[in-house]
Amino acid sequence: MTAIEVHQPSYVITVGQAAGRTGISPERVAINVDDFRIPDNGGNQPIDEPIYEDGPAAYFTTLPIKAITRKLQENGVPCQVSNTAGTFVCNHVFYGIQHYLRDTDVGHGFIHIPLLPEQAAATDQPSMSLDVIVEGLRLAAQATLENKDDIAVGAGQIC
């Protein structure tokens, strides 16, 4: 939060890693719940706890996630909209920053990236090279600056 105060950005893009993702995934929504199936790096393991007692049930991204997705795909970077940031640390960060920025004009969203090849080497998890991830995040920032409003294209999922 200090960096936001010091730099006063127009947009904040937070990034986290998710095993199992096959592409870069801009997240649509953050929910007000921590429900960790395993402890985080600090040993914390909240179960069914709100992130903010006084917070709304959810916050939607204020980034143009469909424009981001299209920009990456047009440039050969695997990308798809994700409708859930889960209930672990990434969702906690996404929700917390959205809550912090709730009364500002600063745009914010969260993007998940896949594992690096060296992280996935001993598993059957998908991965993406660091060069492709960096290019994807650069393109995501560019799409954000180019699209104050998101584009209207279908990206929903049938369950």
Active site residue 118: no
Nearest 5°: phi and psi at 135? -65, -40
Angle 67-69-71 from CA coordinates, rounded to 5° = 65
Closest CA to 144 of 112, 107, 119: 107
Task: Examine the residue annotation and report whether 49 is marked as an active-site residue of this protein.
Answer: no
Whether 81 contacts 124, CB under 8 Å:
no
* Active-site option among 27, 79, 92, 108: 27
C-alpha 135/C-alpha 140 separation (Å) is: 9
CA atoms within 13 A on the CB side of 99: 19
Given the residues 79, 92, 108, 112, select the one marked as catalytic. Answer: 112
- 99 an active-site residue? no
The answer to whether the CB of 31 falls within 8 A of the CB of 87 is: yes
Which residue among 74, 79, 90, 159 is the active-site one?
90
Q: Which of the 8 DSSP states describes residue 142?
A: H
> Which residues are known catalytic residues?
27, 90, 112
